[in-house]
Structure 1
Amino acid sequence: MRLLVTGATGKVGQAFLPAFLREPRFADWSVVALCNNRVIDAADRLSVVKGSVADQDVVSAALSGVTHVLHLAAVKETPDQAIDVALKGLYLLLDRFCQLEDARQFILLSGDCVVGHIFQDYPEPITEQSPRRAYPGVYALTKVLEEVMIEQVGIQSGLNWTTLRAPWIMEKDDFRQAFAFGGEQFGGPPWSTLLDPQRHEQIRAGGYFPAMRDARGSYLKRSFIHVDDLVRAILSSIDNPQAFGQLFNIAMDEPIDYGRVSERVKTVAGLEPADIETPFHSNWLDNSKARKILGWRPEIDLDRLVERAWNYRRAADDPRIIWYPG
């Protein structure tokens, strides 16, 4: 068997490749990594093809001898690249892959942006049957179109596809930096969009933790997943007939409650909670289907997520990386 991985140099790809290569179930598999902006070194059982997924010749070369594809490559709010990478790239991969005699499975990594996460209000837990309702922006739109494209190609061609829909993916100190008030903040929303300058400075300088409230006044609840748990879900899906033709939510068992986070951080780091009103909605990405069908369950809960993030210290050769433009 031969697995093609796109986006192999990204956050998920860099965690996935070593886990895959040391997994006994895949000991006789080879891997080809399709890289563009960043390139990894070839190694035993691992070859590298450099180029864009929007280039049909590059895609054809990368798919030579491939039986499985794991499509991780993505761009964020970059309209000039979104169509090429997200849509043309995926189309070329699917079209060429479906023509291969030994094509067995195509796995797509999607995100909870397709259901709008905190931007859209859902009255019940979000399952795989919940309507797609993207939040504003090109990234969420392209992810919706990717999910639909792979499903429809499956209908047209009989392709064995699997889509894993993940919420905000954490590693190292990401979770701590997501709540930072300076330029080191990871992700969003930018505090300047929620706080006036005086309040922003007061909280930033005073040793506080941002305890966001949702549109109803309760503490915000939002789904997360640690990259290690996501990698285990991917490994559980590869060449698994139970996963063929299926969409799975891959998230923690419960969404993170920002009130509970503030309590844990006060204990761990001594930061006082500072309530921040927001227009966002609390949502719950239901992972029941993945737990039942894949036999997968996340291992990293709120306590372990906080512990890992607040205890992690970056070395000089471990800078924070923006994994995608935008």
Structure 2
Amino acid sequence: MVATAAECFSEYPAVPQTVVMPAVAGTVLVTGGAGFIGSHTVLELLNLNREVVVVDNLVNAAQGVVKPASLERVERLTGKAVTFYSLDVLDKPALAKVFKQHEISTVIHFAALKAVGESVEKPLAYYRNNVNGTIALLDVMEECGCKSLIFSSSATVYGSPQSLPVDETHPTGVAITNPYGRTKFVIEEILKDLCVADKEFSAVLLRYFNPVGAHASGDIGEDPNGPPNNLMPYVSQVAVGRRPKLQVFGGDYDTPDGTGVRDYLHVVDLAKGHLAALPKSAEPGCHIYNLGTGSGFSVLQVIEAFKKASGRDIPYEVVARRAGDVASLYADSSKAERELGWRAELTLDDMCASAWRWQSRNKYGFSAPPAEGDTNGRA
């Protein structure tokens, strides 16, 4: 299924953007481009006048009138078209047709299941979707002669960190605490091996820390299906009245206040990290970068920051630790600054303010309010 541009409405004003011109041209294929990080990255690509094609199986996205609601809003914000195909990367024949219809120069690969806790409960689904899906994508890329990939990896590949902050030389694959993280590690190893075997292939591995926040317009943001698996969207849903209180998983970690510490990164900064990686994706070899702020904030610090941003109380209770979580994890991203010219610019206050702008304007995300007595998984 392919859709053309949605009409650009005047109520979606243009938002000023920092422009970093990539050194490569051609169409960018974005897998999982209707999701949270994917849609923000698509918006930034369009603001640089790049041709963008999106494939997504919509497992993590709300459908709009013509195409996913997130992409309809991206088109309204930018005034530019997104060519969209509703398909799964595991469907190799359908994916190959996309490559044959478009001159794809680079793939930005987001398509994956992504919840740490769920991966502990459903490991086979995570290996099947994340690892097998990536292999299927690489098979089609090889068949069609595309040798440039930017991969959405994760700081979970570092497992339980031996020292902080974590840089790219830190061991990976050791003491990873959940299947989600292991799928990312396995995919990284596959890409490293591929770059050894094919001297023309380029793989940029971007190890994200904790993406949060929303676009400055408040028109696109994080919209999880069912109860959120990550802290910030859960906090924002409590603040907006969709949920009664927050559960804080673990209050006895070896951290200043006993709650888990993470490196929270604004999703717009993260999206711009992919743009900064585009020139590197034209250079053969495997290139690895952390994308984070270099600062860690505890769960309780995030709650306090969100109270300030929203002016709302955030009721919470401390419960047992969650399987697969580590006490603290934050980044050394100096390599990305040196080699890509990228660094995070937005603060925790910016993250909370933009997340609240999105949630307060879109109480039920991209969906209409549920009928009385029927939450349909979106309470």
The TM-score normalised by the length of structure 1 is 0.75
Do 1:121 and 1:281's aligned partners in 2 also have CA atoms closer than 8 Å?
no
Distance of 2:57 and 2:168 partners within structure 1: 32
Amino acid at match of 1:255: G
Do 1:5 and 1:71's aligned partners in 2 also have CA atoms closer than 8 Å?
yes
Q: Which of residues 194, 214, 219 is equivalent to 1:153? A: 194
Distance of 1:112 and 1:261 partners within structure 2: 19
1:235-279 deviation per Cα after TM superposition (whole angstroms, max 9, x unaligned): 111133579521111111312245654664565547599895976
Distance of 1:298 and 1:121 partners within structure 2: 22
Task: Say whether 1:67 aligns with 2:109.
Answer: no
Distance of 1:17 and 1:10 partners within structure 2: 10
1:106-141 deviation per Cα after TM superposition (whole angstroms, max 9, x unaligned): 11001122223xxx2422321111112354332121
1:32 to 1:125, Cα distance in 2 relative to 1, 3 A: same
Where do 1:77-226 residues align within 5 Å? Answer: 77=119, 78-101=122-145, 103-116=146-159, 120-132=160-172, 133=174, 135-158=176-199, 159-172=201-214, 176-179=232-235, 190-191=247-248, 194=250, 212=251, 214-215=253-254, 218=257, 220-226=260-266
Query: For residue 246 of structure 1, what is the aligned residue in structure 2?
Result: 287
Q: Which of residues 306, 315, 320 is equivalent to 2:352? A: 306
Where do 1:42-57 residues align within 5 Å? Answer: 46-57=82-93
- Structure 1 residue 162 displacement after superposition: 0.4
Query: For residue 15 of structure 1, what is the aligned residue in structure 2?
Result: 40
1:139 to 1:99, Cα distance in 2 relative to 1, 3 A: same
Do 2:235 and 2:306's aligned partners in 1 also have CA atoms closer than 8 Å?
no
Q: Which of residues 319, 342, 350 is equivalent to 1:296? A: 342
Distance of 2:157 and 2:149 partners within structure 1: 19
Q: Which of residues 315, 318, 325 is equivalent to 2:362? A: 315
- Structure 1 residue 79 displacement after superposition: 3.5
- Structure 1 residue 315 displacement after superposition: 3.1
Do 1:236 and 1:294's aligned partners in 2 also have CA atoms closer than 8 Å?
yes
Do 1:68 and 1:106's aligned partners in 2 also have CA atoms closer than 8 Å?
yes
Distance of 1:153 and 1:308 partners within structure 2: 39
Query: What CA RMSD, in Å, does the superposition of the two structures yield over aligned residues?
Result: 3.4
For residue 306 of structure 1, give the secondary structure of its aligned residue in structure 2: helix
1:2 to 1:134, Cα distance in 2 relative to 1, 3 A: farther
Distance of 1:8 and 1:15 partners within structure 2: 8
When structure 1 is superposed on structure 2, of 282-291 and 37-46 the one drifting more is: 37-46
Amino acid at match of 2:43: P
1:2 to 1:213, Cα distance in 2 relative to 1, 3 A: same
Amino acid at match of 1:315: N
For residue 97 of structure 1, give the secondary structure of its aligned residue in structure 2: helix
Distance of 1:51 and 1:272 partners within structure 2: 39
Same amino acid, percent of matched pairs: 22
1:311 to 1:53, Cα distance in 2 relative to 1, 3 A: closer
Do 1:226 and 1:300's aligned partners in 2 also have CA atoms closer than 8 Å?
yes
Amino acid at match of 2:40: A
Distance of 1:122 and 1:129 partners within structure 2: 12
Task: Say whether 1:58 aligns with 2:94.
Answer: yes
For residue 89 of structure 2, give the secondary structure of its aligned residue in structure 1: coil
Distance of 2:89 and 2:299 partners within structure 1: 38
Distance of 1:124 and 1:315 partners within structure 2: 37
- Structure 1 residue 215 displacement after superposition: 2.3
Distance of 1:46 and 1:179 partners within structure 2: 31
Amino acid at match of 1:112: A
Query: For residue 230 of structure 1, what is the aligned residue in structure 2?
Result: 270
Query: For residue 333 of structure 2, what is the aligned residue in structure 1?
Result: 287
How many pairs align? Answer: 292
1:295-317 deviation per Cα after TM superposition (whole angstroms, max 9, x unaligned): 11111112322333445513356
Distance of 1:295 and 1:71 partners within structure 2: 21
The TM-score normalised by the length of structure 2 is 0.66
Distance of 2:154 and 2:38 partners within structure 1: 15
1:80 to 1:314, Cα distance in 2 relative to 1, 3 A: farther
- 5+ residue gaps, structure 2, are 1-25, 62-66, 215-220, 223-230, 369-379
- 5+ residue gaps, structure 1, are 195-211, 322-326
1:44-90 deviation per Cα after TM superposition (whole angstroms, max 9, x unaligned): 66323332211221221122232111100001324343233211221
- Structure 1 residue 20 displacement after superposition: 0.7
Amino acid at match of 2:205: T
Query: For residue 205 of structure 1, what is the aligned residue in structure 2?
Result: none
